[in-house]
């Protein structure tokens, strides 16, 4: 499974789609999507070396941003994302490390972000 497919699988979990529907986007959104929605972006990828060569295991830093017209809705989506990603270690661990809450008054939307470290085996 590619890393992008793994993120899509995380974000298509029923507990998340119950809150944002199918409005989960990679890197950027469509123009003016209905709220709530979320998008994710890979911030960094660090390959792990072994004694023989570069291992297939990589450490990814990923940021997920949940957006809504209410803070409660954006925060609920973030909580669901955290529960799903931290609770699914079949393909390698994912742990959260940072949260941020933002209000954008130019568009009247709340954003709740969370950063994850996601270990992924590129050979799998």
Q: What is the pLDDT of residues 63-103, one digit of tens each?
A: 999 999 999 999 999 999 999 998 876 667 889 999 999 99
DSSP 30-88: PSSPPSSEEEEEEEEEEEEE-SSSEEEEEEEEEEEEEEESSHHHHHHHHHHHHHHHHH-
Looking at domain 3-121, does it have CATH number 2.40.50.100? no
Please tell me the pTM assigned to this model. 0.88
Q: Are 60 and 79 within 8 A, CB to CB?
A: no
Strand, coil or helix: what is 117?
strand
The tens digit of pLDDT for each residue in 32-65 reads: 889 999 999 999 888 777 777 666 778 889 999 9
CA distance 5 to 119: 14
CA distance 42 to 44: 6
């Amino acid at each position: 499974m590619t890393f992008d497919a793994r993120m899509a699988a995380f974000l298509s979990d029923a507990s998340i789609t119950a809150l944002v529907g199918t409005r989960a986007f990679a890197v950027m959104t469509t123009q003016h999507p209905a709220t709530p929605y979320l998008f994710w972006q890979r911030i960094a990828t660090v390959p792990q070396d072994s004694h023989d060569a570069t291992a297939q295991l990589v450490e990814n830093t990923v940021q997920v941003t949940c957006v809504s017209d209410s803070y409660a809705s954006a925060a609920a989506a973030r909580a669901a994302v955290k529960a799903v990603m931290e609770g699914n270690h079949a393909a390698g661990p994912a742990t959260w490390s940072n949260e941020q809450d933002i209000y954008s008054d130019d568009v009247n939307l709340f954003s709740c972000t969370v950063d994850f470290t996601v270990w992924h085996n590129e050979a799998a």
